[in-house]
Amino acid sequence: MVIPSWAQSASATAPDSEPPDTPKTRIETWFYYQENADDSGQYKLTEKIYLPLGSRDGWRFTGRVDVPFLYTNKEGSGNPDGDWEFHVGDSLTELYATSPPVAPHLTLGGSLRLVWPTGGQPPFGAEQYQWAPALYLDYRVPDLGYGLTFHPLARYFMSYHASSAGAAKIRKLDLYPRVTFDLPEQWFIVLYPENPIEYNEITGQWFVPFEAMVGKDLSERLHLSFGGAVKLGGNYSQYQYLLEAMVEWRF
């Protein structure tokens, strides 16, 4: 999960309370290495594109497309022998809407995500068409330290059509208690930018990680960040830890 930069005050260069500049197209490239609970591993590269769709009466709209590529030895019906295999993952499209300020430094928003079963069988895909509404807010505290922004988000996934017989039904809540701490020289630290706390409603299980990334705005167009996540608790099988890096271009 990453809320579009024009919909948030994610760095020291963002305005404190005035509406942001004209939204820009963004391309993000994410790199991950993930160590799973079953001792398997996964390398992942995800391309994300954010496209401004206009504004009206202070509301701002954007579209998003994600395409992931996986290289993993995790076992599943699509990789029964647990060999290292390369495969595209499940892609997604999403529409965001962000409100005009509802109070000083505060905006609200929501989105609708559609997940497409382009990955096929596990471990590459979920074999399910999914939709996921989300709600979020963005509240900036400009006078605390070098600036601090709260932008929590909650997203709920629901499968509505299986692409093959036997695909597992999906009912899942993702929570991002995201906070950005601005630092000198255009550096910042972000908590929970990409990997959420998860609750699987089907099994009644939680997965609770801790995630942090350090980033820097090198220019108006180029942004870099790196970090990782580690499992803290929960009985919902996910990863033990992961490492991640991101390059963002703004046009």
Model confidence pLDDT, tens digit, residues 119-174: 999 999 999 999 999 999 999 999 899 999 999 999 999 999 999 888 999 999 99
Residue predicted with more confidence, 18 or 149: 149
Judge contact between 48 and 56, C-beta under 8 A.
no
DSSP state, 23? -
For residue 184, give its domain range.
Answer: 5-250
Residue % of the chain over a pLDDT of 70: 91
Q: How far apart are CA 174 and CA 65, in angstroms?
A: 19
Q: How far apart are CA 16 and CA 107, in angstroms?
A: 12
Q: What is the CATH number of the domain that holds 180?
A: 2.40.160.40
Going by C-alpha positions, the residue among 26, 115, 34, 109 that lies closest to residue 70 is 34
Residue predicted with more confidence, 123 or 16: 123
The pLDDT, as a whole number, for residue 11 is 35
Q: How far apart are CA 31 and CA 38, in angstroms?
A: 21
Q: What DSSP assignment string belongs to 156-208?
A: EEEEEEESSTTPPP-EEEEEE--EEEE-GGGEEEEESSS--EEEETTTTEEEE
For the whole model, what pTM was predicted? Answer: 0.90
Q: Which residue has the tokens 């398997």?
A: 40
Instruction: Give the residue-averaged pLDDT of 89-108.
Output: 97
Residue % of the chain over a pLDDT of 90: 85
Neighbours of 15 (CB within 10 A): 12
**What is the tally of structural domains in the chain?**
1
